[in-house]
A and B are shown apart, each in its own frame.
Chain A
Amino acid sequence: MKKICISVGVLLSLFRAGYGQSVAQPTYEKRKLKLEEINLVSSYYQQDGNNSAVTGGIGTEKLTDFAQSFDLVLKTTDQRNRQHTIAFDFNIDHYTSASSDNIDPLTVSSASRSDTHIYPSIAWNVHNDNNRTTKGLALSYSTEYDYKSYGINLNFAKASADNNREVSLKAGAFFDTWKAILPPELRPDGYGSGAHGDRDPIDYKPRNSYNLSLALSQVVNKRMQLLFTVEPSFQQGLLSTPFHRIYFQDGGETVEKLPGSRLKLPISFRLHYFMGDRVVVRTFYRYYIDDWGMQAHTANLEVPVKVTSFISVSPFYRFSHQTAVRYFAPYEQHKQTEKYYTSDYDISGFNSQFIGIGFRTAPPGGLFGIGHWQSVELRLGHYTRTTGMVANSVTLLAKIK
């Protein structure tokens, strides 16, 4: 009898314990689409150099670019308790380029002397807490005077049970169309200039890009996390720029010619470490190789220091080394017998450095007493390339939440 009493007691206590730990099914809580955050980014960039590809590897590379970006993130939860995130991103930049003005040096101002580049995108992601997955779709569009692009991206991510590891896969495709503007002295008879009002026909050429990205993020310990990314991409179509001139050793002239496909393989490693209470060390390294013969190493170090609980200062330094593609040669160095040729110094061999500093403030009550204005960030940078090109940039970011 004593045993039965003990057994019943144990069973009852187990039942109670089981009852106590039973988890109620999450009740459906319908939530309206809620504005999560708005980011406004403004940037000014200017560069100068003396190796413009438009003039065959010599001549001014002077360029200024004023860019604006507006992104808006909305969130909601559906009947199955999945979180939906919708992000709109609208970007516009206006540039003036002295080298592009030299496409047609005889006119006062050629078609591409200045241009406005507009590229909006929309992304939709669904996160499911139950199986720790995120699925998403993004569409993008880009337009400028002589170029149009349509893009689609799909992504999938799965986190581990303890949320310390995540594997993500992305696949994307861009379908672009070039308006093939040629230098005037190299236009066949009857070929248009591409300028407004010119009714002569001009060729349109495709350029398609396909990307695949596999990433693994891992929390190493309470202060450190890292991310590996492999992102192969394949491009095909017109990969040369139709108004880039080539001057041969014998004095002949033509336009840049490059293979119709390019396979790129970048592999990167990002490691972030929180040192003490105030310093974060952000490191990034990328190795890159492609089938045009280019190899590159890029390293980035940024050390945000929290001066106070809401002000941080972030000095940064980036170094990059790349070898030239096998089709590159400077002004008047190419031979007519070569199959492909370019004098574009962007794909030549060089080292580049980018050094600068960022300031960020995020006061608890919002900026200037505006509660929703969460933070403001300013970044200043100076870029140099061993080809002689120099650039400066300044970026201002305002986050509203």
Chain B
Amino acid sequence: MNKNLFRKTSGLMACLGLLSLTGCTTVKEYQKSRINDAEMELSARKSEKFEQNFYLYREGAAGANGGKSGGGCGCN
């Protein structure tokens, strides 16, 4: 594994995370009408379930997308 690249990517993600957290404001429950909208849910849609399965089988990269991470060979 390319350790340098891994370090750079992890650093970049951590910086992005810190930057986004420092820019946060406190949002009260009654102000969350848009945040609580079904389209805003922080996960893949239920209707993407089988799409995520075929990504898992047809591509080498997997995980960190809320999809299936194991079970079943996908070898066909």
Contacts and interface: CB of A to CB of B under 8 A. Distances in A.
A289 B60 CA distance: 10
B51 A176 contact: no
Interface in B6-63: 6, 9-10, 13, 16-17, 20-21, 23-29, 31-32, 34-35, 37-43, 45-51, 53-55, 57-63
B33 to A, nearest CB: 8
Given A119-B71, A231-B69, A112 B64 contact: no
Nearest to A356: B51
A335 interface: no
Nearest to A376: B47
A269 B9 contact: no
Given A229-B65, A289-B2, 6 more contacts: A162-B28, A225-B35, A267-B64, A325-B60, A347-B60, A393-B50
A264 B9 CA distance: 14
A295 B75 contact: no
A325 B2 CA distance: 13
Interface stretch (A22-30, A125-133, A145-153, A246-254): A145-153
A264 B71 CA distance: 16
Give the residue among B9, B29, B57 with the most A Cβ atoms within 10 A.
B9
B64 A213 contact: yes
Chain A binding site: helix, strand, loop or mixed by DSSP? strand
A169 interface: no
Nearest to A37: B46
B50 A163 contact: no
Give the residue among A149, A164, A227, A306 with the most B Cβ atoms within 10 A.
A164
A288 B46 contact: no
Contacts of B40: 225, 272, 274, 280
A296 B61 contact: yes
A178 B75 CA distance: 11
A39 interface: yes
A144 interface: yes
A69 B50 contact: yes
Given A162-B26, A230-B64, A41 B76 contact: no
Contact of A217 (B9, B42, B46, B75): B42
A289 B5 contact: yes
16 contacts: A71-B46, A99-B76, A142-B72, A147-B75, A178-B73, A211-B69, A211-B70, A218-B20, A222-B27, A223-B34, A243-B75, A244-B75, A274-B34, A286-B61, A304-B39, A395-B51
Q: How large is the interface on B (under 10, 10 to 19, 20 to 34, 35 or more residues)?
A: 35 or more
A164 B27 contact: yes
A389 interface: yes
Given A39-B46, A178-B73, A393-B50, A211 B60 contact: no
A284 B23 contact: no
A136 to B, nearest CB: 15
A230 B34 CA distance: 26
A396 B51 CA distance: 12
Interface stretch (A2-10, A76-84, A188-196, A377-385): A377-385
Nearest to A162: B26
A169 to B, nearest CB: 14
A45 B9 contact: no
Contact of B76 (A95, A140, A325): A95
Interface in A145-181: 146-147, 149, 151, 162-164, 172, 174, 176, 178
Given A69-B49, A230-B64, A395-B50, A287 B9 contact: yes
Contacts of A263: 1
**Smallest CB-CB A-B distances: 6 pairs:** A296-B61, A174-B70, A288-B61, A266-B64, A268-B64, A149-B71
B26 A151 contact: no
A41 B47 contact: yes
Interface string A264-301: 11111110101000001010101111110011101000
A202 interface: no
B51 A393 contact: yes
A336 interface: no
Nearest to B72: A142
Contact of B70 (A39, A151, A377): A151
